[in-house]
Amino acid sequence: MFTDQVGKGNSTRYAILVVTSLVMMFPFYLMIVMAFKNPKTILTGNYLLPSLHPTFSNFINVFEAANFVGYLGNTVFVVTGILLLQLLLIIPAAYVFARLEFRGSGLVFSLYVIQIMLPLEALIVPNYRIISSLGLINTRVAMILPFIGSGYCAFMLRQTFKQLPQSLEDSAIIDGCGHLRFIWSILLPLAKPTLIVFSLISIATHWNDYLWPLIITDSDKVRTLTIGLGMFVQHESGADWGMLMAATLFISLPMIVLFLAVQRTFIESFMTSGLKG
Amino acid sequence: MYNMKHRYLTVFVYLFPSLLFLGIFTYYPIFDAFRLSFYKANAFTPQPVFQWFKNYIDFFNNPVFWQVVTNNIIFAIVTIVPTMVLALLFAILINEAKVKAPFRLSLFYPLLIPYAAAAMVWVFMFDPSLGPLNRFLGLFGFRSIGWLGDRRYSLLAIMIMTIWKNLGYYMLIYLAGLQNVPAELYDAAKADGANWFLQHRHVTLPLIGPSTLFVFVVSIIQSFKVFTQIYLMTQGGPGYSSSVLIYYTYEYGFKFWQLGRASTLTSMMILILMFLVLMVFSIFGRRVTYQAG
């Protein structure tokens, strides 16, 4: 039986894993190879193998054709703004739900949980009307505000804070430690795995944002990387695959590098964080 | 020690800022969407006109609406089921393998690539004449498929790309869940003569219920927010063959500027999402807790 072979034979297992990994990696491989290839060579269908004389002209053309450095600045601003404000607003809230329960706190907490089920993407029309009545259309702030009240963050942090023993808090309070100091010097250091996992997921999620920035911005000055790439494709008619892949690689690389840098901590933290549900 | 008054003040101060943002950007929008869904509001009506359920009835009588809803259901089923099965399979295989890191990374990295970037690569993958997919299929004698330009294949193409993109995230959640399964249970199952498949059927599956529930709920929500890849790869086309609810809402709201109708679609989407999530929790929620407990 097939399943038995998978279980017993290590070679079958690795064969499956290797083939799958190669298939999964192929689009990324293609992106890199084509970004350094002469566009004319690509059109001849000769794109599968890396060229012996890689060219950087695709990248030079991309930066000349569109303001990708500016887009990068906007994306970094928006992504950092979202993460910092999420943590600033949600950490106290999660603390309340984990340690300061009050009558009706379950009900209030469900307001955060329901928010997880209603992604902003589903609420773009009313949110557009709100941002427009606040006079914030076409600003970088508008790309930040709707994501701050993150139910996901509240859910994860509450789980984590709850796992810490009550005795810890009691002794801290006897020592005259206020709530803020308790959160800052005891809870947060202990919650580090969850904070790392949440931060990386938040950054990757909002680096990825498309629909909301698309409808809320209409000038090149405030555009983010993803929107910039979309506009770039429309302007460049799409036939220049070398340039397109260079731009694509440019907007993907920061996330890949960030992840590789923190991979070990991230994986370890992910395995121990409260994310398992 | 804290007195009660002080405690309630703390609770209020700590909750107020985040509740304010939830109110403005989640709960008021829900109210606003339902209210405007009963109005005729578009670029040509300066003052919205109340018209009861007309927007809803018009959609129910519109075959395009039903096509879009059907597409969304197909999209949900065809992405969720294979993604969950494959994610669990690979989580188990990787968990049991000695070498883990490269496989984990190669399955997980698509999550880090923005949809906009991934869409570009996959447009090339699906290119009818130049793309590697058709060239690969050609080796086995298949005729060239139009993929994104063919109404029979456009939705399928989007689904393939989406599975590739999300598989690693769910795999990682399962991998985390597997760390909680005690190894002795497998030894016990092995001693009872259970093969690899039976061990996982009777030990792994029941014990990773919470992960499965989490993955299921997240992927249902995900399947209602697919926008970027559709916008960049097919624009919902050809015709409406790859359009889903969120894309249809975007078109009504920000291409046709019919905010009343777009709000009607938004309201229906809110109802569908709430219904699905409540259903999942009421069917599976209790069983999962028992099994995990």
List per-residue pLDDT tens for chain B, 293 residues long.
Answer: 456 777 888 888 899 999 999 999 999 999 999 999 999 888 777 788 888 899 999 999 999 999 999 999 999 999 999 999 999 999 999 988 888 888 999 999 999 999 999 999 999 999 988 888 888 988 888 888 889 988 999 999 999 999 999 999 999 999 988 888 888 888 888 888 888 888 888 888 888 888 888 888 888 888 998 999 999 999 988 989 999 999 999 999 999 999 999 999 999 999 999 898 888 878 876 655 444 33
Q: Do the Cβ atoms of A30 and B263 come within 8 Å?
A: no
Instruction: Note the pLDDT of residue B182.
Output: 82
Report the range of poorest mean pLDDT among A18-22, A66-70, A148-152, A239-243: A239-243
Each residue's pLDDT tens digit, A137-147: 999 999 999 99
Closest CA to B36 of B19, B50, B21, B17: B50
Q: Do the Cβ atoms of B227 and A211 come within 8 Å?
A: yes
Instruction: Note the pLDDT of residue B290.
Output: 43
Domain count across chain A: 2
Q: Residue with structure tokens 């969850």?
A: A194
Tokens of B87: 């994610």
Average pLDDT over residues A17-21: 93
Note whether residue B51 is domain-resident: no
Instruction: Note the pLDDT of residue B242.
Output: 93
Number of Cβ within 10 Å of residue A174's Cβ equals 9
Average pLDDT over residues A6-16: 74
Distance from CA of A210 to the nearest CA of B (A): 6
Overall residue count recorded for chain B in this entry: 293
Is residue A5 classed as helix, strand or coil in its secondary structure?
helix
Domain count across chain B: 1
Distance from CA of B192 to the nearest CA of A (A): 16
Q: Does one domain contain both A68 and A202?
A: yes
Give yes or no for residue A276 having a pLDDT over 80: no
Note whether residue B56 is domain-resident: no
What is the interface pTM, i.e. ipTM, of the complex?
Answer: 0.89
Q: Does one domain contain both A152 and A93?
A: yes
Q: How far is CA B18 from CA A89, A113, A147, A199, A230, in A?
A: 5, 13, 11, 17, 33
Read off the pLDDT band of A237 (50, 70, 90).
low
Q: Does one domain contain both A152 and A259?
A: yes
Q: Does one domain contain both A28 and A78?
A: no
Q: Report the mean per-residue pLDDT for chain A.
A: 87
Q: Does one domain contain both A176 and A75?
A: yes
Q: Are B118 and B161 in contact (CB under 8 A)?
A: yes
Instruction: Note the pLDDT of residue B289.
Output: 47
The enclosing domain of B162 has a CATH number of: 1.10.3720.10
Q: Do the Cβ atoms of A252 and B117 come within 8 Å?
A: yes
Q: Please indicate if any CB of chain A lies within 8 Å of the CB of B228.
A: yes
A170, closest residue in chain B (CA to CA)? B1
Q: Please indicate if any CB of chain A lies within 8 Å of the CB of B258.
A: no
Instruction: Show residues of chain B in contact with A127, CB under 8 Å.
Output: 25, 29
Each residue's pLDDT tens digit, A206-219: 999 999 999 999 89
Is residue B36 classed as helix, strand or coil in its secondary structure?
helix
Q: Are B56 and B65 in contact (CB under 8 A)?
A: no
Reported as type and span, the H/E element at residue A45 is none
Number of Cβ within 10 Å of residue B54's Cβ equals 16
- Structural domain of residue A35, as residue ranges? 2-56
Cis peptide before B17 (omega within 30 of 0): no
Q: Are B82 and B166 in contact (CB under 8 A)?
A: no
Each residue's pLDDT tens digit, A114-168: 898 888 889 999 999 999 999 999 999 999 999 999 999 998 899 888 887 777 7
Distance from CA of A32 to the nearest CA of B (A): 10
Q: Does one domain contain both A82 and A201?
A: yes
User: Distance between CA atoms of A272 and A269, rounded to whole angstroms?
Assistant: 5
Q: Does one domain contain both A51 and A72?
A: no
B211, closest residue in chain A (CA to CA)? A276
Q: Does one domain contain both A145 and A272?
A: yes
Q: Does one domain contain both A146 and A32?
A: no
The enclosing domain of A233 has a CATH number of: 1.10.3720.10
Instruction: Note the pLDDT of residue A8.
Output: 53
Note whether residue B53 is domain-resident: no
Instruction: Note the pLDDT of residue A9.
Output: 61
Note whether residue B82 is domain-resident: yes
Each residue's pLDDT tens digit, A23-60: 999 999 999 999 998 888 888 878 888 877 888 888 99
Q: How far is CA A234 from CA A190, A223, B228, in A?
A: 48, 15, 14
Q: Does one domain contain both A177 and A264?
A: yes
Q: Does one domain contain both A117 and A162?
A: yes
- Structural domain of residue B151, as residue ranges? 62-292
Q: Does one domain contain both A214 and A113?
A: yes
Note whether residue B20 is domain-resident: no
Note whether residue B98 is domain-resident: yes
Distance from CA of B152 to the nearest CA of A (A): 23
User: Distance between CA atoms of B12 and A108, rounded to whole angstroms?
Assistant: 12
Share of chain A above pLDDT 70, in %: 94
Closest CA to B229 of B68, B76, B118: B118
The 8-class DSSP code of residue B140 comes to T
Instruction: Show residues of chain A in contact with B32, CB under 8 Å.
Output: 126, 129-130
Note whether residue B87 is domain-resident: yes
Q: Please indicate if any CB of chain A lies within 8 Å of the CB of B256.
A: no
Note whether residue B5 is domain-resident: no
Q: Please indicate if any CB of chain A lies within 8 Å of the CB of B85.
A: no
Q: How far is CA B117 from CA A227, A233, A264, B121, in A?
A: 10, 11, 25, 7
